[in-house]
Amino acid sequence: MSPPIQQQYYLIGSPVSHSLSPVIHNTAFAVLGLDLHYVTQDVSDEALGDIVERIDGVQVLGANVTIPHKEAIIPFLDGLDESAMKVQAVNTVVIRDGKRIGFNTDVTGFLEPLAHRSFSRVLILGAGGAARAVLVAANDFLKAEHISVASRRLEQARAACTDLQMGAAIPWSDMPHEARQADLIVNTTPIGMWPHTQASPLQRSSLRSHQVVYDIVYNPAQTQLMTEAKLAGAHAIGGLSMLVGQAAEAFTLWTGQQMPLLDVKKALQQHLETRSVS
């Protein structure tokens, strides 16, 4: 008799060794008594199509998608949910009627710590899949009057704004000036992410005390950009809220159940405390 198949969910990206998503989802599976496992898959551009083929609804039941594949994965899927179609980026793959369907839960996750806030002028750093979700959130939910997208590759920022028909692309060199005018600054780049934790896309001289500075990087929990923001008197938000928020929605899409958030947040805190000691 063959052993039972270990059913899994993937995290597809590169790099992914630093990710906290396995802690989140494996804690939730264990608390709810689900015999499921969440595993990371460090995937090159060339191997992306092959890894998507493994999401078969039998052994691999779905996936999260992170940097750098949120846009590149779309041609390998059978369809997109409205959430992913709007953003033109996918962070969650769900099997529906035997088909691989792309969803985007980043918008919901991003908005989690911004409830009841509004911003007139928003600056987004980066122009990848996460930036597209933030652009939609700022335009459709935060009702920002002016949204700038700065990328080290100006053509990528222009493509995001053109595809979504919102926002204005600006050169990376204009970013410090634009930052001084913004009410909300959002970093969607990997600048400052482990292991390059001393890096920051902006210095405190470009930040102001009235601003909200939101870094979606979550490892480390306190990024250098957040430190610069606090030194400037601004309100700093880290990426853990967005991480948990998008994960909770993906979890429900996969399992039909609500994520046990109190247990997940406790496990995350314990994991981060243990790692900071070691």
Do 192 and 217 contact (CB within 8 A), yes or no?
Answer: yes
By residue count, the chain amounts to 278
Q: Which two tokens stand for residue 230?
A: 């606090």
Q: Quick check: is 70 catalytic?
A: yes
Return the number of other C-beta atoms located less than 10 Å from residue 203's C-beta. Answer: 14
In terms of Cβ atoms closer than 10 Å to its own Cβ (0-12, 13-18, 19+), residue 125 is buried
Return the number of other C-beta atoms located less than 10 Å from residue 17's C-beta. Answer: 8
CA 165 to chain centre: 21
DSSP string for residues in 134-169: HHHIIIIIS--SEEEEEESSHHHHHHHHHHHT-SEE
Do 224 and 196 contact (CB within 8 A), yes or no?
Answer: no
Q: Of these residues, 70, 99, 265, 266, which one is catalytic? A: 70
Do 70 and 89 contact (CB within 8 A), yes or no?
Answer: yes
**Measured between alpha carbons, how far is 144 from 183 in angstroms, rounded to an integer?**
10
Q: Which helix (DSSP H) or strand (DSSP E) does residue 249 occupy? A: helix 240-255
**Measured between alpha carbons, how far is 187 from 200 in angstroms, rounded to an integer?**
10
Active site residues: 70
